[in-house]
Structure 1
Amino acid sequence: MHNEVYIDLNLGLNPFLTERELIIGIQNKKLVVSRTSDLIEMGIYNKEYIANIVHRQEVDVEEFIKLYASKVKDYFELTKSAYKVFLIFLHIHQIVKDKDYIYLSCKKAISFSENLDCSMISESIFYRGVKELIDKKIVAKTNEKNWYFINPSVVFNGERTRFVTEVIKKKDEVNVERSRKGITRYDAMVRGRYLENVIDGVHNEGNMDITGCNHTR
């Protein structure tokens, strides 16, 4: 018979659960994190064609965690310290499923890292990594020591994930302005020629009604 231990926790409110979409600025990039299916706009967007190139890969659980963690590392530009701590958070979350909070002390993290492929972490690595994960909104502090809220859009135990990189080509402002001026001049020329043709038609027909564009014979 197992003795269950109940802990009365006052963790507070998970800040990540109140936002449907989270926008994180990282240097010159904008990272959009969302759990909805609205993340990818298919087809035509703002009258521009979008090319969708999708690479699909099926892997086992352990490989899934490694690939997922490496993608998060790249997208969030995590340092080695933050990546190691994130990997620990991710493994623990596979055990304590369906919870948006995790207990992770420095001692537990060091012990847990012994069983992972990544090198063991130290106390300084742990605290640097946790701070960076908080700054980049992957985890958040709770009201209790060593308890952390997780961002369910980033730390999750689902069976499928999709990372989308959208590359937008910058437009040359000078060429755009020239193009706009050229179009304006062209429109004016077309309108001028059309007006000249109409006037010529009035002179030639004599009885043309220019307001109704009807011929009177």
Structure 2
Amino acid sequence: MGQLTDSGWNNVQQIGKWSGDSCHLQMIVPKAKVPDVLQLYHNGCSGSHLGVKRTLLKIRERFYWVNCCNDLKDWCRQCTSCAAVKGPQTRSRGALKLYNVGAPWERIAIDVAGPLPESENCNKYFMVVMDYFTKWPGVLAIPNQEASTVADKLFHEVFCRFGVSFEIHSDKERNFESQIFQKTCRVMGTHKTRTTSFHPQSDGMVERINQTLERYLAKVV
């Protein structure tokens, strides 16, 4: 907790919030320590500048003070990182087409985003693998977006863990259209489909996850 565990917390009291037979303990936060809690749970790496509702749920798991919700709303409204990154939301939508999937990992979508600031492990890109049936997203950090790297990561981190999919959907990037990747799909018996040109809505499921991840990374990196 950093500053939240110093001698300033000596006068912190705990109260019980009873619901049936369960007891939920919360710490009463002095007014002087409220900015520390908001800084940790909203601006910190674990907070990732989430909205008011999600941040409030995290805070209420441990802390309580009067006007907590209003203080959090004011804090989020004045956050410069949120204002700089979020911006206005576009409302354009492409035509939708239903695709029936009968089981988990029957059909998956993949995409690579980056480059990003290099991490301590020398990774500059991330690859998103998402299941069409369960909508479960997997995010894998990779050092580059070469076809050999993408195919190796897909084989060892996805197929070896969850099983081989019947179908893979991706855009027309060179790493997905290369001979290495195509050969990997043939060996594994996986059918490869692709989006139409200049139409990212064809792979909108992973594109939306990419947008969410890039927004959070832009705030904390």
The TM-score range, normalised by the shorter chain, is under 0.3
Quick check: which one's strand share is greater?
A: 2
The TM-score normalised by the length of structure 2 is 0.22
Bigger Cα Rg: 1
